[in-house]
Amino acid sequence: MEESGFSTVVLTPTPEYHRKIGFPRVAAIAYPYGRVVGEVHDSGGQRAVLLEVLSVFEKAERAGEVYHLPFTWPEDPKDTKWHPSEMSPIVKLLLDKIKKARKEAGDR
């Protein structure tokens, strides 16, 4: 998009991937996957997030800037139910590798 002449902001819950890909402008938000703009029917909360995103468009001066937005999701992470009802095909396929990664992380 950016190479085609459009200015972009990515509103993302996972700004860490910026280290791998390199986004032009990043607005990082601590919201769960599938609801990065805000809660269902919370127009005021969604509006607040988006006004901050628009300010990122304005204040970013060079490629690669990351802005961490000041919002906190009201639920405990384990209560957010962001995940699909059934394990995704790729997770089923790689389950052994995922468990191994967990074990190695725990061992460190």
Q: Which of residues 28-87 bind other proteins (CB under 8 A)?
A: 28-30, 32-41, 43, 46-47, 50-51, 53-54, 57-58, 62-64, 68-70, 72, 77, 80-86
Find residue 27's DSSP bridge partners.
11, 67
CA pair distance 15, 28, nearest whole angstrom: 6
Which of positions 4-33 make contact with other proteins (CB under 8 A)?
4-24, 28-30, 32-33
Burial class (CB in 10 A: 0-12, 13-18, 19+), 31: buried
96 makes contact with other proteins (CB under 8 A): no
Q: Are 42 and 73 in contact (CB under 8 A)?
A: no
Applying CB under 8 A, what is the total number of residues that bind other proteins?
A: 76
The least CB distance from residue 87 to other proteins, in Å, is 9
